[in-house]
Amino acid sequence: MWLLDRLLRAVVREGPLVVVDHDGTQRSYGAGDQPLTIRLTAPRTAWRIASDPALGAGEAYMDGELLVDPPHDIRDLVLLFMRNARRRSGAMSPPNPLRRLADRIAWRLDQFNPRTRIGRKVRHHYDLTRQFYELFLDEDRQYTMAYWADRDGTLEQAQRDKKALIAAKLHLPAKGAEGLRVLDIGCGWGGLGLFLNRHYGCEVLGVSLAPDQVRFANERAAAAGVADKVRFELIDYRDVRGRFDRITSVGMIEHVGAGNFGEYFAKTFDLLADDGVMLTHTIGRTSGPGRTDAWTRKHVFPGGYIPALSELVEACERTGWQAADLEVLRFHYALTLHEWYRRTTAHRAEIVALYDERLFRMWQFYLAGAEQTFRLGGMVNFHLQTVKRQAVLPMTRDYIASEAARLIAAEPAPDWHLAMAAE
């Protein structure tokens, strides 16, 4: 316990945090009015956390060795540490220099994403059962940042508004788009592709490396009677052939790995027609390049990496793109993750029945940690609109807001049943 005690005394100023060790020993850290109490249930837990905080704390919670006393929960604990981490950068890094070196080497190896490995890494996360994702996502299964034009609105409404915003930035013609081809890289469960076809009549090819996503997306296209115009394939984007008038990539570039952004932008440049438009929607770092933490790459997104804006812009410049528009979307993902966390927690019994308590705790920790990095840390979302020719877009951004509003007005009212079920 001495190492954890030393670490917490250095980190926690805003609290108080009360730690009850497995033998009943109690210690308090930081000042404040409402104590948050955690309990360590095994003799090894304190060392497990202190020797590698980024990995050990999450795994201790997953294994039931770290418990949070009501009325607080793991989200409150993560928030407490994020508030304190802003005061002391790097305080929660592994204290052993050899362990830090090992972590850097492990991260470099994790970023190696050839075709033979990338599919397995994607399936690690996205091939959980359909029923699992239905418990916390909106009806359309949008598994990326929602756009909260109304902070008091619902997740369903915000995800509809996100699709409308992306579609508007593609600058598709409201009439006469039937012959245009759209490529949706990392198509998820098909919601965006179906949205684009519904409003513009364009042909859509969605590609993904998650088999169940592709199956379900094709089932949706068939049910909507548009399988002749909207299809989804299990294929690496690097193996796509042909030319497309528009390209969307929503929440996908985070999976290509650090060092592979040039390959991504070079391939998409070749796929896009000369008068086309591409919209890349990605999580981004507000500071410079960094590393994916050990817990996330082991349990959630193996091979994943969140890019800094400098990395994206440099890769675009090297591959011939012209940046047409950049929007930094702040706090939208924090609100989205908070709602996913709320719905996940409300459906604890169903998730445990589908999998087990450990996966439920892992998902809680993932959502809570991700939310706080967008709320208090250095993460935002980027919308990077790129073209080959500047003249393909209007001179002002007015077209984006007006087209998004038109699309929202044309959409049926979102189905609120999931929001009500999670209450």
Compare 134 and 257 and report the one with higher pLDDT: 134
Q: At 175, which amino acid appears?
A: K
pLDDT at res. 307 = 95
Q: Which residues of 30-63 are buried (b: 16+ CB within 10 A; e: fewer)?
A: beeeeebbbbbeeeebbebbbbbbbbbbbbbbbb
Q: At 237, which amino acid appears?
A: Y
The token pair at 101 is 């070196």
Please write the tens of the pLDDT for every residue from 12-71.
Answer: 999 999 999 999 999 999 999 999 999 999 999 999 999 988 899 999 999 999 999 999
pLDDT band at 395 (very low <50, low <70, confident <90, very high): very high
Contact between residue 265 and residue 321 where contact means Cβ atoms under 8 Å apart: yes
The token pair at 236 is 């690496």
Please write the tens of the pLDDT for every residue from 308-324.
Answer: 999 999 999 999 999 99
Compare 203 and 300 and report the one with higher pLDDT: 203
Q: What is the mean pLDDT of the chain?
A: 91
* Cα gap 371→78, rounded to integer Å: 9
pLDDT exceeds cutoff 60 at 123: no
- Region 145-156: mean pLDDT is 96
- Region 258-285: mean pLDDT is 96
- Region 382-386: mean pLDDT is 98
Share of the chain above pLDDT 70, in %: 88
Q: What is the pTM of this model?
A: 0.91
Closest listed residue to residue 1, CA positions, set 44, 63, 31? 44
pLDDT at res. 257 = 86
Q: For 23-154, where are the alpha helices, taking DSSP H only?
A: 45-51, 53-62, 74-85, 97-110, 115-126, 130-134
pLDDT band at 422 (very low <50, low <70, confident <90, very high): very low
Contact between residue 208 and residue 186 where contact means Cβ atoms under 8 Å apart: yes
Q: Taken in order 258, 259, 261, 267, is the CA torsion positive or negative?
A: negative
pLDDT band at 196 (very low <50, low <70, confident <90, very high): very high
Q: At 94, which amino acid appears?
A: P
Please write the tens of the pLDDT for every residue from 216-240.
Answer: 999 999 999 999 999 999 999 999 9
Share of the chain above pLDDT 90, in %: 78
pLDDT at res. 116 = 60
pLDDT band at 90 (very low <50, low <70, confident <90, very high): very low
pLDDT at res. 98 = 61
pLDDT exceeds cutoff 60 at 124: no
Closest listed residue to residue 329, CA positions, set 291, 364, 369, 284? 284
pLDDT at res. 122 = 57
pLDDT at res. 231 = 98
pLDDT at res. 7 = 93
pLDDT at res. 420 = 47
Closest listed residue to residue 3, CA positions, set 39, 64, 38, 52? 52
